[in-house]
Amino acid sequence: MRVMSQIAMVMNLDKCIGCHTCSVTCKQTWTSRPGVEYVWFNNVETRPGQGYPRRYEDQERWRGGWRLTRRGRLVPRSGGRLRRLASIFANPLLPNIRDYYEPWTYDYQSVAEAPLGDDFPVAAPRSLLSGKPMSTIAWSANWDDSLGGMPQHGEDDVILNRIQEKIKLEFEQTFMFYLPRICEHCLNPSCVASCPSGALYKRVEDGIVLVDQDRCRGWRMCVTGCPYKKMYFNHRTGKAEKCTFCFPRIEVGLPTVCSETCVGRLRNIGVLLYDADRVPQAAATPREQDLYPAQLGVFLDPHDPQVGVEAERAGIPHEWMEAARRSPVYDLITRYGVALPLHPEYRTLPMVWYVPPLSPVVEAITAAGHDGEDHENLFGAIEKLRIPVSYLAGLFTAGDPAPVELALRRLAAMRAHRRRLNLGDAADPAIAESVGFTVEQLDDMYRLLALSKYEDRYVIPTAGAGDVRALEESALTGCSLNYEGGPGMGGGTASGPFGEASGRPAPLSVETFHILRDRSTADTSADTSGLRGRVNLLNWDGRGLPEGMFPPGAGNGSTGSRDGETAGGAGPDAGAGEITGRPPQEGETTRRPFQKGPNP
Amino acid sequence: MPSPADVFLWGALPYAAVALLVTGLIWRWRYDRFGWTTRSSELYESRLLRFGSPIFHVGLLFVLAGHLIGLFIPQGWTDAIGFDENDYHTMALWVGITAGVLTFFGIMLLIWRRRTTGPVFLATTVNDKIMYVFLVGALGLGLSTTLINASGPGYNYRTDIAPWVRSLFVFQPEVSLMANTPVEYRIHAVSGLLLFAILPFTRLVHSFTAPVPYLFRPYIVYRARDPHVIGTTAPRRGWERSDI
């Protein structure tokens, strides 16, 4: 037995209202920089739906995760080492930016400076990749939010494709839920396995999977390797980036940003102990439906004295053992058995689990005019409403409905039990017994899932309390400007001698700080002098005209060297020039919008 | 008696180029490991890249192998196994022209793609453009040198150029060997040396970290935090983490 500890997350899907607060706060913290405009470390998908990037679950196409060879060996589904190296010059399994979406901004300047006229000025969309006007915005990270465009896109849901045709229509009328997704920080990560440089690694202490930015060489194999498509390529720095599980916060005992800001209190974070020796065996379980129980078998009971002894031998700190014993994640996964892994069939042993949503079932019953809180009704409906269960099974158990049904029945029992108490009736132990629980267990589960006190749902040990001061980009203390090159090194606009991606990277917090400060305090448009002629329109506040936004010749007097070269180009430049509007000619008055004046 | 120009070009320039290459690599490894990347643009465009990139890279590997064989295997060795100069020349010519044309076609396709695809062109730095001049220059000159000598018996560079290259490695440069070689060979040699000199300062550095060790490592990489440093900030002197 080799005990290792892992920080894991369980999300209670019943409580997700699809508000995207987690996505937005995550983006502001981690990916509000040029190069990762299209990247969402955390995204919220509507199910049924295509997901982000589109149809990422179609592993026949993208070949993420692992597969078992005929001889029972595990190899990355996209091919072994030689095969990966052979496709290093061009990787046909790499999603194109259009499989995510082409990031864009709006040409606000044209609205601000439009002369008074009969036409209502419109901010035209512009691509953040090419700077060209975009005729259509065709897709984004949650384009099919809340079943938007379902008649057209419904056919594209990968899991729905596996469910029979006749069930499909009925299904669409009854069933929808949200699925927030972050990196799974798998026990058997296929992104790490496919990294040719060895830059991706799983941290021993807390199991967080990270990219060493100094070792990444931009071979892009991790993007192919990850079946959840939670590896991203920063197209400006040429390096891979991924969800970090907010390790600077976790290290000081704070929950991740997505968890901290979740208004539904649906995320639980805690420590799980697992036996690293059993991981390869579990991942190589022959039948896909057995992967969920196999992964359960990998986890260790922190209350077991034997495990305690082994953990001490493995150097797991006492504080971590204490946290493991109070772990909400361990309770939801193992003790209550209501949390399930996302797509265990990828064989990566994911570590962000989900409590399946009962609310669609409740709503179906209520809509049919029955009592949606009655456990008899609920139990009957779970068995009868085959479609939600088989869809959830497609997500969480490789198609085996039994674990999903059990989890839903337990949630239904909890619901019925608590309703009795709320209405002043005596507790009915028969309800608890019908799902193999005691009344106390149901109450405990209710406390964790429904009340979700901050200190109950986040039990996070610190990395080294004595060294909090030294933590990189610490949320608590320490000077994050104290790195090589000194403080205030220009943040996002700093650039090394070999073009925009070179030089020591500034800590992310510094870069974000500078960008935000520039945006909020500048009298003119954000300073883009260091961007080598590329303008980050995300940081543009609509005031003034940043140098290099449009090529010279349109009359804005910009003379960047790059612009001089671009000016010879075709379409985009000509188009751009028209939109900015020409400068006022002599004898012509410029009129601000909303300025009073005679009608033209 | 070689002229001062010859001494400079064939006695000094090679060492200067290699010195720049080595010190440049060390310097960049120490100070710009973050910038050491392919800066791939495959995310933006993959239709042309899917053909251009493998053609260019594989062609280049063959070109490289051809140079190594031609320059470092003495003629005496091939003669000894009964592979005479005529056969060698024919073989080298066909393989060389194929590889050279493929490489050149590949780089041209890639440059065309870079110029015509909006996002890719926008991501092209001045450094990249300078690099392309040197790279295409060396490739084009090399290919034309081969083509010029394609007809007839051809020029046997293994009697002078190859011995000169080998003499560089023992620090006894035989400058006079290069003085009388055809001019196209000399121009190509200089362009190649210049390419070596700028290599570490361009995106071409990624070739020095070709991921060969991947073939020999276990799939899953575990790494512990440095027990003495939490995060990436080195502790001040006297504040290091103790082992206790």
Average pLDDT over residues B38-66: 95
For β-strands A200-203 and B222-223, DSSP reports them as parallel
Of B42, B123, B231, which is closest to A91 when you measure between CB atoms? B42
Evaluate whether A273 touches A266 at the Cβ level (below 8 Å): no
**How crowded is residue A479: how many other Cβ atoms within 10 Å of its Cβ?**
10
Looking at residue A361, what is its pLDDT?
A: 85
* pLDDT on residue A149: 80
- Say what the pLDDT of residue A162 is: 79
Whether residue A582 is predicted with pLDDT greater than 90 in this model: the reply is no
- Angle at Cα A49 formed by Cα A46 and Cα A55, nearest 5°? 125
Q: Which of A145-154, A588-597, B212-221 is the least confident region?
A: A588-597
Q: Which range scores top for mean pLDDT: A485-494, A496-505, B146-155, B220-229?
A: B146-155
Which residues from chain A sit within 8 angstroms of residue B201, using beta carbons? Answer: 497-498
Average pLDDT over residues A406-424: 94
Average pLDDT of span B211-231: 82
Task: Give the pLDDT score at A85.
Answer: 94
Share above pLDDT 70 across residues of chain B, in percent, rounded to a whole number: 93
Structure token digits, residue A103 = 């990031």
Mean pLDDT of A506-522: 72
Confidence at residue A569, expressed as pLDDT on a 0 to 100 scale: 37
The answer to whether A77 and A558 are in contact (CB under 8 A) is no
Nearest-Å Rg of the Cα atoms of chain B is 22
Q: Provide mean pLDDT across the span A282-299.
A: 96
A240 neighbourhood in chain B, CB within 8 Å: none
Using an 8 Å Cβ cutoff, are A355 and A10 in contact? yes
Q: What is the DSSP string of A71-117?
A: TS-EEETT--HHHHHHTSSS-TTSPPHHHH---EEE-HHHHHTPPS-
Any idea which residue has 């976790």 for tokens?
Answer: A250
Nearest by CB to B118, from A130, A201, A212: name it. Answer: A130
* Nearest CB partner across the interface for A561, out of B45, B126, B231: B126
Burial (CB count <10 Å: 0-12, 13-18, 19+), residue A465: exposed
Percent of chain A with pLDDT over 90: 57
Residue A465 predicted with pLDDT over 90:
no
Residue B29 has pLDDT above 80, yes or no: yes
pLDDT digits (tens, 9 = 90+) for B90-133: 999 999 999 999 999 999 999 999 999 999 999 999 999 999 99
Strand pairing of A239-242 and A231-234? Answer: antiparallel
Q: Average pLDDT, stretch A430-439?
A: 95
Q: Where are the domains of chain B?
A: 4-214
Query: CB-CB: which of A239, A472, A499 is closest to B125?
Result: A499
The chain-wide mean pLDDT, for chain A, equals 83
The per-residue pLDDT for A169 is 56
Q: Which residues of A touch B127 (CB under 8 A)?
A: 498-499
B241, A467: Cβ pair inside 8 Å? yes
Q: What is the 3-state secondary structure (H, E, C) of B172-192?
A: CCCHHHHHCCCHHHHHHHHHH
Contact B44 A129 (CB under 8 A): yes
Q: Measuring CA to CA, which residue among A26, A63, A62 is closest to residue A141?
A: A26
B215, pLDDT greater than 90: yes
- Tell whether the model's pLDDT for residue B25 goes beyond 60: yes
Closest CA to B142 of B176, B99, B178, B113: B99
CATH fold of B4-214, please?
Fumarate Reductase Cytochrome B subunit (1.20.950)
**Cβ A467–B221 below 8 Å, yes or no?**
no
- What's the one-letter identity of residue A477? T
- pLDDT given for residue A571 in this prediction: 37
User: How far is the C-alpha of A248 from the C-alpha of A471, rounded, in Å?
Assistant: 7
Q: How confident is the model at residue A567 (pLDDT cuts 50, 70, 90)?
A: very low
Q: Does the beta-carbon distance from B39 to A91 stay under 8 Å?
A: no
Count of alpha carbons within 13 Å of A149, Cβ hemisphere only? 15
Q: Tell me, what's the pLDDT at A110? A: 86
Please tell me which residue, B68 or A554, carries the higher pLDDT value: B68
Q: What is the identity of the amino acid at A149? A: G
Q: Where are the alpha helices (DSSP H) in A491-586?
A: 508-521, 561-566, 571-580
The alpha carbon of residue B43 is apart from the nearest alpha carbon of chain A, in Å, by: 5
Confidence category of residue A375, pLDDT binned at 50, 70, 90: confident
Determine what percent of chain A falls in helix, strand and coil, rounding each to the nearest 5.
Answer: 40, 10, 50
A and B: number of Cβ contacts within 8 A? 196
The more confidently predicted of residues A66 and A572 is A66
φ/ψ (deg, to 5) at A267: -100, 135
pLDDT at A536: 65
- Contact call for residues A391 and A357 (beta carbons, < 8 A): no
Q: In chain A, which residues have their Cβ closer than 8 Å to the Cβ of B37?
A: 216-218, 237-239, 501
Of A173, A32, A35, A13, the C-alpha closest to A519 is A32
Task: Tell me the per-residue pLDDT of A147-183, one tens digit each, with 9 for 90 and over.
Answer: 888 777 777 888 888 776 555 555 556 578 999 999 9
Higher pLDDT, A197 or B231: A197
Q: Looking at residue B240, what is its pLDDT?
A: 66
Structure tokens at B161: 């150029």
Name all domains of chain A by residue range, CATH numbers in brackets: 357-457 (1.10.3650.10)
A296-322 burial, b at 16+ Cβ within 10 Å, e below that, comes to eebbbebeeeebbebbeeeebbeebbe
Cβ distance A148 to A158 under 8 Å? no
pLDDT at residue A419 tops 50: yes
Where does residue A466 rank: exposed (0-12), middle (13-18), buried (19+ CB within 10 A)? exposed
Residue of A nearest to B231 (CA): A472
Task: Give the one of B51, B122, B230 whose C-beta lies nearest to A130's C-beta.
Answer: B122
pLDDT tens-digit series, residues A376-407? 888 888 888 777 888 999 999 999 999 999 99
- Cis amide leading into A48 (omega within 30): yes
Answer with the residue of higher pLDDT: A476 or B93.
Answer: B93
Average pLDDT in the A482-499 region?
48
Q: What is the mean pLDDT of residues B7-25?
A: 96
Contact assignment for B230 to A504 by CB distance below 8 Å = no
Residue A511 burial (10 A CB sphere; 0-12, 13-18, 19+) = buried
Question: A70 or A532, which is more confident?
Answer: A70
pLDDT at A493 over 90: no
CA A277 to chain centre: 29
CB A91 within 8 A of CB B42: yes
Chain B residues in contact with A572 (beta carbon < 8 A): 118
For A101-111, the pLDDT digits (tens) are 999 999 988 88
Q: What is the mean pLDDT of residues B181-193?
A: 95
- pLDDT for A560: 39
Identify the helix (H) or strand (E) that includes residue A160: helix A158-162
